[in-house]
A and B are shown apart, each in its own frame.
Chain A
Amino acid sequence: EPEVTQTPSHQVTQMGQEVILRCVPISNHLYFYWYRQILGQKVEFLVSFYNNEISEKSEIFDDQFSVERPDGSNFTLKIRSTKLEDSAMYFCASSGRSQDYEQYFGPGTRLTVT
């Protein structure tokens, strides 16, 4: 069964450093998403991406964040200068037009900022 994959599973970085979280969505999907879950809190939407551009973003997704689909298979989330409060589990999701809007989630990347 096709699945969304994410790398790395765990990333530790120092405050102020740049990080790139990588996702490989399901191959025939067209819509891509990033969500995050701070420990003990609810899952929050960050950004959605369709047709090579951002279709919607939350207030969390400020200028420190960017997304890219560099090669038609990967979907990345970059945080330019990490803050302590960026520590969270980051989930990538994808959906296809014919999937009744079902979003398939990856296993997540746990980002720890020290």
Chain B
Amino acid sequence: AQSVTQLGSHVSVSEGALVLLRCNYSSSVPPYLFWYVQYPNQGLQLLLKYTSAATLVKGINGFEAEFKKSETSFHLTKPSAHMSDAAEYFCAVSKYGNKLVFGAGTILRVKS
């Protein structure tokens, strides 16, 4: 069975600081990995995805993530946080592009 663990239910950073949201996965087959963002009272928007191509994946809004098979990780980073990045972020895994299995989410707070 596949699973996702997101370390830290809440992360707080200052505006302009590095954002690092952690995600570790468990999968019996090569996984497809995704990061989604959810703004308050809105749906899920895809930030980026890994589908067995380049291990460093660039997404929207300046976010990127690196697939590290040896560490079973897919951490999300952004060099400089903006106030508009405040939201909840979900890491998800799927097998062969089927159902998504989500992590518990990390709420990102950006302090001015």
Contacts and interface: CB of A to CB of B under 8 A. Distances in A.
Chief secondary structure at chain A's binding surface: strand
Given A43-B44, A43-B90, A91-B44, A103 B100 contact: yes
Given A91-B43, A108-B43, A101 B32 contact: yes
A56 B99 contact: yes
B103 A42 contact: yes
Contact of A101 (B90, B97, B103): B97
A82 B44 CA distance: 25
Q: Among B36, B96, B102, which residue has the most Cβ atoms of chain A within 10 A?
A: B102
A88 to B, nearest CB: 14
B98 A105 contact: no
B17 interface: no
A104 B45 CA distance: 7
A35 interface: yes
Interface string B82-112: 0000000010101011111111110000000
Given A33-B99, A33-B100, A102-B46, 18 more contacts: A41-B104, A42-B105, A43-B102, A45-B100, A45-B101, A48-B98, A91-B43, A93-B100, A100-B49, A101-B32, A101-B51, A101-B94, A102-B49, A105-B36, A105-B43, A105-B44, A105-B45, A108-B43
Interface of B: 32, 34, 36, 42-46, 49, 51, 90, 92, 94, 96-105
